[in-house]
Amino acid sequence: MTFSQPPARRGQRLVKGLPVSGGIVIGKVLVIDDEIRRVVPRSIKPEDVGHERERFDKAVKKSIAEIRRVHEQAEREMGKEAAKIFSFHVGMLADPTFSGSVHGMIEADKVTAEYAATHVLDKIASQFRSAKDPVFATKVNDIDDLTDRLLAQLLGGRKSVLEQADSGTVIIARDLTPSQTAGFDRERILGFATDQGGMTSHTAIIAKALEIPAVVGCQALVREVQDGDEVILDGDHGMVIVSPDPDTVAEYLRAIEQRRQYQVSLGELRDLPSVTQDGVDIHLVGNIELPEEVSRVLGAGGEGIGLYRTEYLYLTSKTEPTEGDHYRAYRRCVQLLAGRELVIRTMDLGADKYTQGQAEVPERNPFLGCRSIRYCLKNQPMFKKQLRAVLRASAEGPIKIMFPLVSSIAELRQAKFVVNDVMEELEEEGHAFDRSIKIGMMVEVPSAAIQAETFARECDFFSIGTNDLVQYTLAVDRINERVANLYNPLHPAVIRLIRDVARAAKRHEIPVSCCGEAAGDLEFAMLLIGLGVRTLSVSSSMIPPLKRFVRSVTVEQCERVSREAMKLESDVHIAAYLRDRARKIVPEAFDMPGID
Ligand code: PEP
Ligand code: MG
């Protein structure tokens, strides 16, 4: 069903973005525009002046200590000259004129430390901005940085705007971190839209995992809305309708009901096998970030967990998890899975997966930096802590270990070596574990895909991570909305890599799965099945539509379609061709109510 008249023509504001997590919700806007900077003037009682001044002094002290640490590290890694900027930061904060102005304002205007500090810093920034000398103009960013740092210290113990959200809230933000999204209270937050972000940004992945409707890459939505505005968020079509008229609301309410019925019909497949019309099993397993999601995957009819993103143990906690924390999380999953398989991916920290608190000195090119297995190999005590916990949990149920972002054979060997080391330790200590635990790797870097034959000899399984494989093959940042149109898993170069990986796996008789977001798209799944992939690991919400598709198609059909797709020379042609084929098989999945 499509609507008779696009809302834009009815004078409503319609903003398009990327549909990253399905579902339609209608709610009230809460804007998070750099939450930390939303400091409203708040008066204080005269007797609280001393307390506010003290809070400010403490925040300054802590910020200076923090900057000094960053400074030292920056000096070691980038040299004295590049690190000089931090001396300016310290100098600013330690300047008695600055603290004098803030104290003076708290006292004279009876306002909070947050407000006084931002006000004084804003004034300095505008002086720099209007200075003729370009050197001063560049200092504005530094002042912004300082403001953020000070406010983070001051607001640390306070309730954030997010925590104060009412029920029925739709968050509209410039951007959200994966950990912010993971912390959403589902009782109150219906969905979100962000100006930044791409199809496979981790924020988008979390939204899908938690089944929160989401649209990202809306460019300038934050400027279009105000707190309390009514919005329709259409995560199926990547659309936000601001202040919809009653007719549009009524149409969308009907769409929501139709969607609900479709979901119910998919739910009926839950306990049926995922087998093609010509009798081939296609294993549908789930991607999870937290143990609580296991039940969601099983509830959707998933057969196990094909990707546990364990870095979320870090991202959702302020301190580094202990071996016990790891162990408890893994054991919990094993218990919930009751004999079904659990693939634990070792920590994939770095790039966009840091919380502010845990961020190290920013890398200039974090997606090409010290992330993932590289980070673990450099931080072996941390890595071993996790491996000990994984192995101990393997005594309780079927677990496989998977390394992320492997890009050279030396890395794989080194990581396996660490596992062996840990096994010896555990043996000496008398701990039980699965001695023949399977060890596999993600294929998400082109070098690994190209060398798949070599890797296949030394590991027990492959899982193709299209989210990263696409960004590294096509040189397209997966979280940058400005190049989102170039991010396409159906690019012929990506498909060729996948074909080669699947062939290498077959030749060496090791299983190959796909756990990137694309595996949940029916047209891409058709291609994967045609290329020989027999396990798809996806967010729980994608399992039911995939199962319907699998049960409606034959492998022979998929093979024919993938052969034809391989002959086409552009992603646009391949996408159109596959969409057309998949639509013929399950038309209802492509004709969801809403506006295309
Ligand atoms: C991938 O890159 O496809 C993947 C599954 O890993 P992540 O999205 O966690 O980087
Ligand atoms: Mg990845």
Which residues, other chains included, contact 39 with Cβ-Cβ below 8 Å and sequence gap of 6+? 112, 114, 115, 118, 151
Atom number in ligand 1 closest to CA 516? 3
The Cβ-side half-sphere exposure at 522, using a 13 Å CA radius, reads 25
Atom number in ligand 1 closest to CA 348? 9
Give the residue from 347, 352, 306, 315 showing the smallest Cα distance to 468.
Answer: 352
Name the residue of 181, 372, 468, 536 whose CB sits within 8 Å of the most ligand 1 atoms, as the mutation to test its pocket: 468
Among all bound ligands, the one having the nearest atom to the CA of 536 is: 1
pLDDT tens digits, 115-137: 899 889 888 888 877 776 666 66
Atom number in ligand 1 closest to CA 444? 2
> What is the spatial distance between Cα 255 and Cα 260, in angstroms, rounded to a whole number?
8
- Between the CA of 509 and the centroid of ligand 1 the distance, in Å, is 24
> What is the spatial distance between Cα 94 and Cα 17, in angstroms, rounded to a whole number?
44
pLDDT tens digits, 223-262: 888 888 999 999 999 999 999 999 999 999 999 999 899 8
Atom number in ligand 1 closest to CA 307? 5
pLDDT tens digits, 518-529: 999 999 999 999
Q: Which residue has the higher pLDDT, 179 or 365?
A: 365
Neighbours of ion ligand 2 (CB under 5 A): 444, 465, 468
Where would I find the beta strands (DSSP E) of 201-282? Answer: 214-216, 230-234, 239-242
- Confidence (pTM): 0.76
Q: Are 330 and 344 in contact (CB under 8 A)?
A: yes
Within 6 A (CB) of ligand 1 lie: 205, 307, 309, 348, 444, 465-468, 515-516
> What is the spatial distance between Cα 591 and Cα 236, in angstroms, rounded to a whole number?
10
pLDDT tens digits, 449-492: 999 999 999 999 999 999 999 999 999 999 898 999 999 999 99
- Between the CA of 516 and the centroid of ligand 1 the distance, in Å, is 6
Among all bound ligands, the one having the nearest atom to the CA of 470 is: 1
- Between the CA of 405 and the centroid of ligand 2 the distance, in Å, is 6
Residue located nearest, by CA, to atom 6 of ligand 1: 465
In the prediction, which pLDDT does 1 show?
34
The two tokens of residue 127 are 């002086």
Q: Residue for token digits 């950990």? A: 179
Q: Which residue(s) pair with 400 in the sheet?
A: 343, 438
**Average pLDDT of the residues of the chain:** 89
Helices (H), 165-225: 178-182, 202-209, 221-224
pLDDT tens digits, 267-305: 999 999 999 999 999 999 999 999 999 999 999 999 999
In the prediction, which pLDDT does 250 show?
95
- Active-site annotation, residues: 202, 515
pLDDT tens digits, 555-586: 999 999 999 999 999 999 999 999 999 999 99
Amino acid at 377: L
Which residues, other chains included, contact 287 with Cβ-Cβ below 8 Å and sequence gap of 6+? 205, 209, 305, 306, 307, 308, 309, 515, 537, 538, 539
> What is the spatial distance between Cα 24 and Cα 13, in angstroms, rounded to a whole number?
17
Q: Are 485 and 477 in contact (CB under 8 A)?
A: no
For the chain, helix (H) and strand (E) counts, in that order, are 26, 16
Residue located nearest, by CA, to atom 8 of ligand 1: 467
Percent of all residues in the chain with a pLDDT value above 70, rounded to a whole number: 89
Q: Over range 147-164, report the average pLDDT.
A: 71
The length of the chain is 596
In the prediction, which pLDDT does 5 show?
39
Q: Can you give 318-351 as a three-state secondary structure string?
A: CCCCCHHHHHHHHHHHHHHHCCCCEEEECCCCEC
Name the residue of 441, 444, 476, 512 whose CB sits within 8 Å of the most ligand 1 atoms, as the mutation to test its pocket: 444
> What is the spatial distance between Cα 107 and Cα 101, in angstroms, rounded to a whole number?
10
Percent of all residues in the chain with a pLDDT value above 90, rounded to a whole number: 66
Q: Are 279 and 172 in contact (CB under 8 A)?
A: no
- Between the CA of 373 and the centroid of ligand 2 the distance, in Å, is 11
What is the DSSP code string of 211-266? Answer: T--EEE--SSHHHH--TT-EEEEETTTTEEEES--HHHHHHHHHHHHHHHHHHHHH
Residue located nearest, by CA, to atom 9 of ligand 1: 309
Atom number in ligand 1 closest to CA 309? 9
- Between the CA of 464 and the centroid of ligand 2 the distance, in Å, is 9
- Between the CA of 487 and the centroid of ligand 1 the distance, in Å, is 14
- Between the CA of 303 and the centroid of ligand 2 the distance, in Å, is 22
> What is the spatial distance between Cα 345 and Cα 537, in angstroms, rounded to a whole number?
13
In the prediction, which pLDDT does 74 show?
64
Residue located nearest, by CA, to atom 1 of ligand 1: 465
**Residue 594 scores a pLDDT above 90:** no
| Ramachandran angles phi, psi of 216, nearest 5° | -120, 175
In the prediction, which pLDDT does 2 show?
36
In the prediction, which pLDDT does 198 show?
87
Q: Over range 361-380, report the average pLDDT.
A: 88
- Between the CA of 371 and the centroid of ligand 2 the distance, in Å, is 10
pLDDT tens digits, 19-72: 999 999 999 999 886 544 556 666 788 999 999 999 999 999 988 988 888 777
Name the residue of 200, 202, 310, 471 whose CB sits within 8 Å of the most ligand 1 atoms, as the mutation to test its pocket: 200
Confidence of residue 360 (pLDDT cuts 50, 70, 90): low
Confidence of residue 407 (pLDDT cuts 50, 70, 90): very high
pLDDT tens digits, 447-456: 999 999 999 9
Confidence of residue 112 (pLDDT cuts 50, 70, 90): confident
Q: Which of 155-169, 281-295, 372-386 has the lowest mean pLDDT?
A: 155-169
Among all bound ligands, the one having the nearest atom to the CA of 466 is: 1
Q: Which residue has the higher pLDDT, 191 or 367?
A: 191
Q: Over range 150-165, report the average pLDDT.
A: 70
Among all bound ligands, the one having the nearest atom to the CA of 513 is: 1
> What is the spatial distance between Cα 315 and Cα 318, in angstroms, rounded to a whole number?
8
Atom number in ligand 1 closest to CA 351? 10
Residue located nearest, by CA, to atom 3 of ligand 1: 465
Q: Are 5 and 193 in contact (CB under 8 A)?
A: no
Q: Which residue(s) pair with 169 in the sheet?
A: 28, 189
> What is the spatial distance between Cα 445 and Cα 403, in angstroms, rounded to a whole number?
12
Among all bound ligands, the one having the nearest atom to the CA of 178 is: 1
- Between the CA of 521 and the centroid of ligand 1 the distance, in Å, is 15
Atom number in ligand 1 closest to CA 465? 3
In the prediction, which pLDDT does 473 show?
98
Q: Which of 202-211, 427-436, 459-468 has the lowest mean pLDDT?
A: 202-211
Name the residue of 467, 513, 517 whose CB sits within 8 Å of the most ligand 1 atoms, as the mutation to test its pocket: 467
Residue located nearest, by CA, to atom 4 of ligand 1: 465
